[in-house]
Homo-oligomer: A and B are copies of this chain.
Amino acid sequence: MFSPVQHVRAYERIVEQIESAVLSGELAAGQNLPSERELMRQFEVSRATIREALRVLESRGLVRSRPGNPKGPEVLSFQTNLLRTPLSHLARVEHVSLTDLLQFRMVLEGSATYLAALLRTDEQLAEMEEALAAMVSSVERGMAAFSAADLQFHDAVARASGNELLSVCSDVVRGVVLQMMHEHIAGAPDSVDLMQTWLKAHSALLDAIRAGDAELAARRIRQDLFDHYEMHVDPERRAVVEQMLRSGS
């Protein structure tokens, strides 16, 4: 007859309502929520409850509130941050190894590149070429600048895959890999040779994308990633990783 009532805490319902308003686009980025006091009138709850809801929304990257702002909490433009923090946490929590990450990145970027070779528009191709040019010109500015340009390049490729999810995840994993490299391994040497090798590889990769040869492009990027991070791969799993890049998957 009657079904048990599940306790939903007050702040949860507020989070739900605000979140769905933001997600549905009812509240666009750049706009502002009503002030805490106004919200507490609208939801008919105490200020503490409103604040708990706001803290959760803030931690999810949907809003940001600053002290003394009469306009109220701002609605943020969400993006990859929504996923980056949790994934980075996951990597630390589960003691994900660099080998795991590299393997995962090979899977993601391999597929993204495959799709990019098939679907890229001329504008997107131009973007990649531009990013590659930026890499060339940043060789002499050191490894840090070079890495930043490299990220741009990979991002351009991933976006051309036409799959937002794949693109965002690739982006996130790329970031986490870089972060772990920074944390655990001494900074890469400013080797011009290394950068030149890297450039040549990327140039060949871009050729494959330009030609629309998806299979080749996917194989190349996987090979490039492997070559670049080879030294950090767990010796026991090396054979498997290598087999992955020889094959199609």
Residues of A within 8 A of B (CB): 7, 11, 15, 19, 23, 48, 51-52, 55-56, 58-60, 67, 78-79, 82-83, 85-87, 89-94, 96, 100-101, 103-104, 107-108, 110-111, 114-115, 118-119, 162-166, 168-169, 214-215, 218, 237, 240, 243-244, 247-249
Contact = CB atoms under 8 A, between A and B. Distances in A.
A96 B94 CA distance: 27
A181 to B, nearest CB: 16
Contacts of A118: 240, 243
A91 B248 contact: no
Contact of A214 (B110, B119, B249): B249
A249 B114 CA distance: 7
A94 B168 contact: yes
A19 B88 CA distance: 13
Contacts of A89: 19, 23, 60, 82
Contacts of A85: 86
A79 B86 CA distance: 10
Q: Which 4 pairs show the lowest CB-CB distances between chains A and B?
A: A248-B248, A114-B249, A107-B111, A56-B59
A23 B83 CA distance: 18
Q: Which of A7, A55, A87, A114 has the most CB of B within 10 A?
A: A55
Contact of A59 (B60, B107, B248): B60
26 contacts: A15-B59, A19-B89, A23-B89, A48-B48, A55-B55, A56-B56, A59-B59, A60-B86, A79-B94, A83-B87, A83-B90, A85-B86, A86-B86, A90-B165, A96-B164, A96-B165, A100-B164, A100-B166, A104-B163, A107-B108, A111-B249, A162-B237, A169-B169, A214-B249, A215-B247, A218-B248
Given A19-B89, A110-B249, A169-B169, 20 more contacts: A11-B55, A23-B92, A48-B51, A59-B60, A78-B90, A82-B86, A82-B90, A85-B86, A100-B165, A100-B166, A103-B163, A104-B163, A107-B108, A107-B111, A115-B244, A118-B240, A118-B243, A214-B247, A215-B247, A249-B249
Q: Specify how many copies of this chain sit in the oligomer.
A: 2
A244 B96 contact: no
